[in-house]
Amino acid sequence: MNMDRSWMNHNDVKDRQKPEYIAGVNEFLLFAFTGKSDETMLKCPCLNCRLVLSQDRKNMHCHLLVYGIDPTYNPWDSHGESIQETGNDEEG
Ligand SMILES: [Zn+2]
């Protein structure tokens, strides 16, 4: 499966109001919450939580629209128990 992830690079507030960004968020939530209830708490990939804090579906949707999604996060490759351990690159 080859998902289009260009929506994740929408880092401006006004970009996050575009239909393709909102559609991408909905696509991600559908993927992330497959087989789970909307009350399930999952690690939130928004720029505020950065996979440290967990949110339910409603809050995560809100966060992704308000804060944006970390563009380095690949939900379709790394969604799982080890996602906390990724993204430790330090740039000078
Ligand atoms: Zn969040």
How far does residue 81's CA lie from ligand 1's centre (Å)?
17
- Domain hosting 19: range is 6-72
How far does residue 1's CA lie from ligand 1's centre (Å)?
26
Q: Is residue 65 part of a domain?
A: yes
In this predicted model, what pLDDT tens digit does every residue of 43-76 receive, in sequence order? Answer: 999 999 999 999 999 999 999 999 999 888 876 6
How far does residue 49's CA lie from ligand 1's centre (Å)?
4
Residues of the chain above pLDDT 70, percent: 77
In this predicted model, what pLDDT tens digit does every residue of 26-37 receive, in sequence order? Answer: 999 999 999 999
Query: For the CA atoms of 5, 6, 8, 9, what is the dihedral angle to 10 degrees?
Result: 150
Q: Is residue 61 part of a domain?
A: yes
Q: Is residue 88 part of a domain?
A: no
Provide the pLDDT for residue 82: 43
Q: Is residue 81 part of a domain?
A: no
- pTM of the predicted structure, to 2 decimals: 0.74
What's the farthest any 2 CA atoms get from each other in the chain? 41
3-state secondary structure of 23: helix
How far does residue 68's CA lie from ligand 1's centre (Å)?
9
User: Count of domains in the chain?
Assistant: 1
